[in-house]
Amino acid sequence: MKTMKQNICNRRTFLTVTTLTAGSAVFLKRNIALSTQISNEKSVMKFSFRPYELKLNHPFTLATSSRTVTPGVQVEIEFGGKTGYGEAALPPYLGESTESVSAFLKRIDWTAFSNPFEMEDILGSIDEIADNNTAAKAAVDIALHDLNGKLLGVPCYQLLGLSPKQIPPTTFTISIAEPDVIRTQTQNAAGKFKILKVKLGRDNDKEIIETIRSVTDLPLIVDVNQGWKDKHYALDNIYWLREKGIVMVEQPLPKSWWEEAGWLTERSPLPIFADESIQRISDVMKIKGYFSGINIKLMKCTGMREAWKMITLARACHLGVMLGCMTETSCAIAAAVHLSSAADFVDLDGNLLIANDLFQGIRLENGRQLPTDLPGLGINKIEQ
Ligand code: MG
């Protein structure tokens, strides 16, 4: 069944394509010339990386864990007088660490690549170095997109044929906490955001929702993080949540419960999105018939290039699209923001949750996370 949003998106995609076709001849000619010039320069890509630990403003609590820091690795690629920035964010449940990312990045042979615009070759080769290591791969992908945008003098959203005018408002996540803390978090968020996301999946779901509803009637997404262990219990909860103004449910059941997910999605009055059940593009085809949509995260899917392919495939399968994140600096958040006009739901609040951001360049305006119109990711490094 095609949703109104999908019809809007299809129309939007058509308009984007026709506009790009009509107006891009001069742009492409200039870029092809520049690309040729750069690839003939015999310059080499200079790659470097370093660990960087993100400090969270508040403890981040899910149904299964709680933490106050997120390990990360910052990467840079220099070429043609420009520097592209990238980042791997490593929440422990994803299975990567600063050590595993460093070990993976050291295995990349940069002498094999001479043209940063050949991203399909570069990223394809890097993907084949080892299975998994998706955050390490995403760090390189993000840095290459930033670099190429800077070399061409255009923002990444323009490289993708997208317009920031279409970016939906981002959710802001209310973490699992005591009621008075939830009330304060909600009061602080309600004036700045147009939609909130709430973590459920313990034994106090209704108390959390009632607490939030005592403060605001903003639309809510709930993320259960696999926390419900019975499909009938899940369906009853979803009917109750619909009455409370919830608009979407993320990963209500354990990730391997495919038959139960299909049963629930068929009966649910709200769309059900997969998060933990999906990782990369090869998973998208499996989702149809079991979920209403997918939550794409750059750290799980190896970066912007594969995310864009996943969005395209999801649309062809009539699936909804959400763009999510980890706790990340404004670098990785910017990478997702540049893609976000192609999504139905945007959950890109990760940079707002940390105390030691390394970059500036994303602005929260009327509840939307917006990029600058500077080249590449449009971010600037903050002097430390
Ligand atoms: Mg989730």
Q: Tell me what pLDDT residue 92 has.
A: 86
2 has pLDDT over 50: no
Nearest to 274, CA basis, from 288, 300, 254, 295: 295
Mean pLDDT of the 133-142 span: 98
Residue 277 has pLDDT above 50, yes or no: yes
Ligand 1 centre to CA of 47 (Å) is: 32
Class (C level, CATH) for 162-381? alpha beta
- 45 C-alpha to ligand 1 centroid (Å): 35
What is the percentage of the chain residues whose pLDDT exceeds 90?
A: 81
pLDDT of residue 5 exceeding 50: no
Cα of 203 vs centre of ligand 1, distance in Å, is: 18
| 35-157: CATH number | 3.30.390.10
Residues 39, 22: Cα–Cα separation, whole Å: 27
pLDDT at 140 over 90: yes
pLDDT at residue 36 tops 60: no
Q: Is the pLDDT of residue 288 over 80?
A: yes
Residue 1's pLDDT is what?
Answer: 37
- Average pLDDT, integer, range 230-246: 98
pLDDT digits (tens, 9 = 90+) for 239-269: 999 999 999 999 999 999 999 999 999 999 9
- For residue 194, the CA-to-ligand 1 centroid distance in Å is 19
Q: How far is the CA of 12 from the centre of ligand 1 (A)?
A: 27
Taking the C-alpha atoms of residue 180 and residue 246, their distance in angstroms, rounded to an integer, is: 21
* C-alpha 174 to ligand 1 mean position (Å): 13
Instruction: Give mean pLDDT, residues 58-71.
Output: 76
Say what the pLDDT of residue 78 is: 97
Q: What is the DSSP string of 123-160?
A: HHHHHTTSSS-HHHHHHHHHHHHHHHHHHHTSBHHHHT
CA 368 to ligand 1 centroid distance, Å: 19
What pLDDT does 177 receive? 83
Q: What are the domain boundaries of the chain? A: 35-157, 162-381
| Cα(225) to centroid(ligand 1), Å | 6
Please give the Cα distance from 364 to 376 (Å, whole number): 19
* pLDDT tens per residue, range 174-199: 888 889 999 999 999 999 999 999 99
As a whole number, the mean pLDDT across the chain is: 89
Q: Which residues pair with 222 in a beta bridge?
A: 198, 249
pLDDT at residue 39 above 70? no
36, 75, 77, 251, 347 from 350: Cα distances, Å: 37, 18, 23, 19, 8
Average pLDDT for residues 100-117, to the nearest whole number?
96
Does the predicted model carry a pTM greater than 0.95?
no
pLDDT band at 370 (very low <50, low <70, confident <90, very high): very high
Q: Do the bridges between strand 54-61 and strand 66-70 make them parallel or antiparallel, or are there none, so unpaired?
A: antiparallel
Q: Which residue has the higher pLDDT, 27 or 173?
A: 173
In this model, does residue 59 exceed pLDDT 90? no
Q: In angstroms, what is the span from residue 274 Cα to ligand 1's centroid?
A: 8
Ligand 1 centroid from CA 223, angstroms: 5
Calculate mean pLDDT across residues 276-302.
96
Compute the average pLDDT of residues 39-61: 83
Cα 196 to middle of ligand 1, angstroms: 13
Rounded to whole angstroms, the Cα distance separating 191 from 194 reads 8
